[in-house]
Every structure is written in structure tokens, then in C-alpha cells.
Amino acid sequence: MAEAAEQGTIRVWDPLIRIGHWVLVAGFATAYLTEGEPEWLHTWAGYAIAITVALRGLWGFVGPRRARFSDFVTGPGRVVAYLRDLLAGRAERHLGHSPAGGAMTLALLVTLAVTAVSGMGTLAAEEGRGPLAGLVVTAHPAGAASSYEREGYDEHEAHDEAGEAWEDIHEVAANLSLVLILLHVAGVGLASYAHRENLASAMVTGRKKA
């Protein structure tokens, strides 16, 4: 029965792509909805996102054909043309990522990476913990904090300002990621309708119509 079910389909997405995709979905949903409470859950969801984005970036150069950036990264002209044709109902079907899907993949990898790194920066600046602890903000050696003292700031205020800056970046990147995710979901729905295939299901099974 399994062979019969797979007739007329072709394997497109490898396990790393599929697992990574759903880890990002679960990780971002968890991190965004918890908003830091409980902190450990928010933090580990962020770590899962960071690790997955890093692996996906590497896989984009050494993975199988459909996973490689060279297979789906195109110029903005092709992206715009594809979107125009998609809205008109005449877009060309792609086994791998479409030009618009490829552009969205890159955009999401960038914004998720910024979100994860800025989250680690916030944790390091505000609590001195995480992978960036000691790198983002360092305590001023004795007698060397005069630049802050001259301006009326103490070391705690400097740390607070650094933490707020990282937190602002984190919030903007997270909200931008959410906007891109919503656009991505809308695009997947539209493309699924236009090409008469379930693209979300394909990211589970790894298979699409041949």
C-alpha cells in the first residue's frame, strides 16, 4: 500500500529540511507566545532556533540538490515575476522552492538568526548568562570606568542600557519574523491552491507530485 500511495510522487525534501522546518515552527511559536515566561522555556526554544538556523545555513551549501541555496536563490526580478504570475493563476510550478519561496526562506533565516542572537545578547547583558556572556558586556576594571562616571552613569546603568538595546533589537526581529511567517503561510496556501497540491503535507512526507 505504501508503494501505491507513493506512485506519481517524487521525493523532494530530505529529513533534515523537514525536521528543521518543524523545529523552527515549534521553537518560534513557543518562544513568541511565552514572551520569556517561563524564562527557561523561552531560552531553550531560542537555542533550538539558533542551532537549526545554523544547520540549515550549512546544509544550504553541502546538502542535496533541493536543499542548496544554488537551487532556489534567484534575483528579485524572478521573484516579482513569479508573484505576479501566481496572483494571475499562471505561475510555473517548481519541484523545489519557487523563486518567492526561496526569497522567503532566506529572509526567514536572516530574521530568525537575528532574533536568536539578539535574545542571547539580551540574556548576556541583563543576567550575565548564555553563550554571549562576557562578550556582549564586560565589567569595567577598577579605575577604568571613568568614561561612564564622567557622564554621570555607573556600571549598572551601562549594563541596563546595553540590555535595553539588545532587547529592542530582539523585539523588532521577532515581530518582523512573525510578519514574514504570516506572509509565508499565505503564500503556501495560495501556491497550494494554484498548483493543486498540499505543500504543507509535502514538508511532512518529503514527497510532491512528480
Q: Which of 121, 119, 116 is nearest to 55 (CA)?
A: 116
How buried is 36 (Cβ within 10 angstroms: 0-12 exposed, 13-18 middle, 19+ buried)? middle
What pLDDT shows up at residue 37? 85
The secondary structure element, H or E, covering residue 167 is helix 155-195
How buried is 140 (Cβ within 10 angstroms: 0-12 exposed, 13-18 middle, 19+ buried)? middle
Q: Which of 132, 135, 165 is nearest to 50 (CA)?
A: 132
Give dist(CA 208, CA 61) in Å, integer: 23
Write phi, then psi, for 133 (nearest 5 degrees): -60, 130
More confident site: 163 or 12: 12
Q: What fold does the segment set 10-138+146-209 form as a domain?
A: Fumarate Reductase Cytochrome B subunit (1.20.950)
| Whole-prediction pTM | 0.84
In the chain, pLDDT over 70 holds for what percent of residues?
A: 85
pLDDT digits (tens, 9 = 90+) for 18-29: 999 999 999 999
Give dist(CA 135, CA 124) in Å, integer: 8
What pLDDT shows up at residue 140? 42
The residue type at 122: T
Give dist(CA 30, CA 14) in Å, integer: 25
Task: Provide mean pLDDT across the span 95-111.
Answer: 96
CA angle 45, 51, 56 (to 5 degrees): 125
pLDDT digits (tens, 9 = 90+) for 31-79: 999 887 899 999 999 999 999 999 999 999 999 999 999 999 999 999 9
Give dist(CA 172, CA 118) in Å, integer: 10
